[in-house]
Amino acid sequence: MKTVIIPAIDLQVGEAVRLFKGDYNQKTVYSQNPAQLAQKFESMGAKYLHIVDLDGAKDGNTANLETIRKIRAGVRIPIQVGGGIRNAATVALYIEGLAVDRVILGTVAVENPEFVKEMVLKYGAQRIVVGVDVRNGKVATGGWLNDSGVDYLKFIEQLKRIGVETVIVTDISKDGTLTGPNWDMYKRIKGIKVIVSGGVASDDDIKAAGDYYGVIVGKAYYEGKVNMEKLLCGKRRIIPCLDIKDGKVVKGVNFVNLKELGDPVTLAKKYEREGASEIILLDIAGTSGDAIRQVVKELLIPVTVGGGIKSIEGFRRAFENGASKVSINSAAVANPDLIKQASKEFGKERIVVAIDGKGQNVVVNGGKEVTTLEIVEWAKKCEALGAGEILLTSMDADGVQKGYDIAMTKSVVDAVKIPVIASGGCGNIGDIVDVFDKTGCDAVLAASLFHYGRVTVPAIVQDFYSGRVLMLAYVNPQSYEVMVKEERTCFWSRSRNELWRKGETSGDVQLIKSMAFDCDNDTLLIQVEQIGKGACHTGQYSCFGDERGEYAMLDSVYAQIVDRAKNPREKSYTNYLLDAGLDKICKKLGEEVTETIIAAKNCDKAELVGEIADVAYHMLCLMYMAGVSPQDVTARLAERFLVQGNLKQRNERGEV
């Protein structure tokens, strides 16, 4: 089980805050713009967000509803919301009105367990979570202000009986203290999905939560105790870079022979439209401050700015002009203490140190000067001084478009704990996949790939179970980034010039099983589990027609049974049958055959089709348990009826 790391945003009067041990009088404000904070967590790679309306929890209302509405509208990832949800109307408001993915019931679960049961039956256990807030072994209610006297273990057993599958368990005495979770408390909980909450203080605490369904991280992130971006590496970032000189975007090879490519605002907005989640702007000659300010002003996505920044005042001006992060390079080499000062002044997560390398050494001043600094040792020192991220560029690979410097990148990734952005050499999307897979870097920078239009590659989509080719589409770096993060297909529409997630409107989504490039890194094979009617907008299962579709479907179902056996899923009927064993499957098959006969006798075609499908499915389960494949059966049929290709020969009795 992979533990879900869930960033927390606690709301009070529209602000993101954290309480100390649940005390409303001891709070720290961390953001006055919670919606922007949520977007930041999404950009880091968070797969879920935990939102608590503290005012609602205390007073039993929806005091921060509008703030939650803005958060929901601003992010694509699922969110769970708790605090003050004590009746069916409020549950419906969040789930049906705001499209919240999960609601957290707290006080009402203690006071009215039957209500929880009703909500589980109505919305499903996957959308109803119960918050179990514990003080001295007893469940607390009313925003942690009241003690119910109910033992937390007995309460959880009761929740299991009424259908609850997931609980968020918080030791109130640990919350906000940064002293580590109460592991002894969690060890006593059995037979239910547990999300750990309260006391998380370090990366080690998060790793220790690996045996649990999820872990909520709040104050530890806000106080800089954990590297959230590193931990949330489920999303690998692909970042367009604009090198700007004299107000124009330029690009060269090995830092020389620069060619002018266009207006930075126009190009940056183009990349934003194409789905870039962030952009890096480098003023390579320190002469384009006005142009960079204009780009930052025009964009909605985060922008990292670098070039010509040599002082704390330079950092301050960049941030005042809208930069999300600031990158320094030669200035850091000349004055390493600048890293420490900037980190202390603005926060390490906003400080990027760019390292240009040639061979084993750091180069500065646009590659003109080779220093005696060794790349790995300098990266380690930058981390120690307070850098939040390393932007590593191979001068030898830059602009050549033959792939990233794998050895250099891996050496730095292995040496530091902060995120590393690989830069220099990207020629196609395959190069991006290569450097991610071989180095473990957190992000890649690409310039030529975007500037020269080598952005899209064809993607062949294949049914994972049957092997059928479903469709051909096109992938760009942003759609690839989405697929890595969401594990479902997302493509680039060349006609509409926008990203499109397969099945976003039809519901016919494709869940990714594997992705691989061909030997030339210019075509992507995506194997998927096709959900819904099929891949084609015409209603056919495959865009290449449905010939053999009815036969391939049996192969596909059988392959899915094999997959369930190898990778069990919770509440899977197939897994239930396989676990029950051969006798149970035989009994079910007999029942389905009987029902098929009854449907036939009743002359009910629709019912008969359904019953025959049930017989086919249970027969395939029986075949799997007995070690018989569809190929074994078709081979015997071919032998019995003398079928060879499309030629049907007659047997001795003259029958086909």
Q: Both 633 and 486 in a single domain? A: no
- 92 — phi, psi (to 5°)? -65, -40
Q: Both 40 and 128 in a single domain? A: yes
**Residue 348 neighbours by CB under 8 Å, 6+ apart:** 224, 386, 387, 388
Q: Both 222 and 84 in a single domain? A: yes
Query: What is the pairing mode between strands 79-82 and 102-105?
Result: parallel
What is the model's pLDDT at position 225? 86
**Residue 480 neighbours by CB under 8 Å, 6+ apart:** 238, 429, 432, 433, 524
Helix (H, G, I), strand (E, B) or coil at 168: strand
> Residue 555 pLDDT more than 60?
yes
Q: Is the pTM of this model over 0.85?
A: no
Confidence of residue 648 (pLDDT cuts 50, 70, 90): very low
Position 201, amino acid: A
What is the model's pLDDT at position 242? 86
Where is average pLDDT lowest: 231-240, 373-382, 623-632? 231-240
Residue 544 lies in a domain: no
Q: Both 481 and 502 in a single domain? A: yes
Q: Both 217 and 319 in a single domain? A: no
> Using the 8-state DSSP alphabet, how is residue 96 labeled?
I
> Residue 411 pLDDT more than 90?
yes
The CA-to-CA distance between both ends of the chain, in Å, stands at 52
Q: Tell me the C-alpha distance between 42 and 44, whole Å.
A: 5
Looking at residues 480-500, what average pLDDT do you find?
83
What is the model's pLDDT at position 253? 59
Between 582-601 and 573-580, two packed helices, what is the crossing angle to 10 degrees?
A: 120
Looking at residues 169-178, what average pLDDT do you find?
89
Q: Both 226 and 113 in a single domain? A: yes
Position 284, amino acid: I
Q: Both 292 and 331 in a single domain? A: yes
> Residue 631 pLDDT more than 80?
no
Of 433, 451, 469, the residue that ends a domain is 451
**Residue 654 neighbours by CB under 8 Å, 6+ apart:** none
Q: Tell me the C-alpha distance between 120 and 126, whole Å.
A: 8
User: What is the tally of structural domains in the chain?
Assistant: 4
Helix (H, G, I), strand (E, B) or coil at 479: helix
Of 231, 254, 269, the residue that ends a domain is 231
Looking at residues 239-251, what average pLDDT do you find?
81
Residue 484 lies in a domain: yes
Q: Both 167 and 299 in a single domain? A: no
What is the model's pLDDT at position 118? 94
Of 212, 231, 250, the residue that ends a domain is 231
What element of type H or E holds 38?
A: helix 34-44
What is the model's pLDDT at position 485? 76
Residue 624 lies in a domain: yes
Of 10, 398, 434, 463, which is the active-site residue? 10
Residue 655 lies in a domain: no
**Residue 635 neighbours by CB under 8 Å, 6+ apart:** none
Looking at residues 479-499, what average pLDDT do you find?
83
Q: Both 28 and 126 in a single domain? A: yes
Confidence of residue 287 (pLDDT cuts 50, 70, 90): low
Specify the CATH number for the domain of residue 463. Answer: 3.10.20.810
- 158 — phi, psi (to 5°)? -65, -40
**Residue 10 annotated in active site:** yes
Residue 360 lies in a domain: yes
Strongest mean pLDDT among 411-415, 537-541, 574-578: 411-415
From residue 180, alpha-carbon distances to 7, 111, 136, 197, 422 in Å are: 16, 30, 16, 10, 34
Position 60, amino acid: G
What is the model's pLDDT at position 651? 44
Where is average pLDDT lowest: 67-81, 276-290, 293-307? 276-290
Q: For residue 514, what are the β-bridge partners?
A: 527
Q: Both 80 and 99 in a single domain? A: yes
Of 53, 133, 205, 463, which is the active-site residue? 133
From residue 223, alpha-carbon distances to 201, 219, 220, 524 in Å are: 9, 6, 5, 41
Instruction: Tell me the pLDDT tens digit for each residue of 21-53.
Output: 767 788 889 999 999 999 888 877 788 999 999
Domain range enclosing 614? 549-643
Mean pLDDT, the chain, rounded, equals 85
Q: Both 511 and 559 in a single domain? A: no
Looking at residues 425-429, what average pLDDT do you find?
78
Could you tell me how far CA 140 lies from the centroid of its own chain?
A: 33
Specify the CATH number for the domain of residue 136. Answer: 3.20.20.70
